[in-house]
Chains A and B, each alone.
Chain A
Amino acid sequence: MSFREKIAWAAFVTTLLAWGGYFAVVIARAANGGTHDPMLFWLFLAAMIGQTVLVVAVAIVSAILAPGDAHAAPDERDRRVGQRASALAYGVVLVAIAAVIVWLHLGLRGTNIIFALIGVFILGEAVRFGAKAIGYRVGG
């Protein structure tokens, strides 16, 4: 597994774990009283910092184990895998934005709009990282 594939898998898994946990709490709060809670801000920071630390840790360990791989410039396959993943994520984000707009007309209000938009962004990133990781697995 190449350095870039390891990073893609690490980013994908940590996105699911960190932001899945974050949105589980947000959705629970939204269903039980509301999302006007400073705790959610700290949870947001924790998810962001936690994910960053985990991905950086994977990158450091991978670079130590295979320094040549880590320093190799991206080649045509890396670029193609990245372009396909970005294109797929863009499509998913467009559909998700449309869903949020529909939801606005069905009663989405206040801070929940912000959480929905954060969710769209995170969904897009999860799809991008996941598509990248799978793209490497299947060959490019």
Chain B
Amino acid sequence: MAKQPIANQIRTLRFLAGEMTQAELGEKIGLTRQTVAAIEAGKYSPTLEAAFRIARVFGKPLEDVFQWED
């Protein structure tokens, strides 16, 4: 499988948000725990809408959560 060019800081941000679980994050943005885990592991690139929702949960701009890696 080709490596996704999008890195993310979700694990760190969850930790900083009081060790928020993947299930809790998923519940806030309407995704399953497995989908959050896949996004976090870089196996699945979320839609733009889901990406904005994730950033909003952590109160961060999108580019602080997701980064394009060349």
Which residue numbers of A lie inside 8 Å of B, CB to CB?
1-2, 5, 69, 72-73, 75-78, 136, 138-140
Contacts and interface: CB of A to CB of B under 8 A. Distances in A.
B50 interface: yes
A77 B31 contact: yes
A77 B44 contact: yes
B41 interface: yes
B60 interface: no
Contacts, number: 37
A122 to B, nearest CB: 28
Dominant secondary structure of chain B at its interface with chain A: loop
A92 B59 CA distance: 45
B43 A76 contact: no
A136 B32 CA distance: 13
A8 to B, nearest CB: 12
Interface string B39-55: 00101101100100000
B38 to A, nearest CB: 5
Nearest to A75: B31
B34 interface: yes
Contacts of B34: 1-2, 5, 77, 136
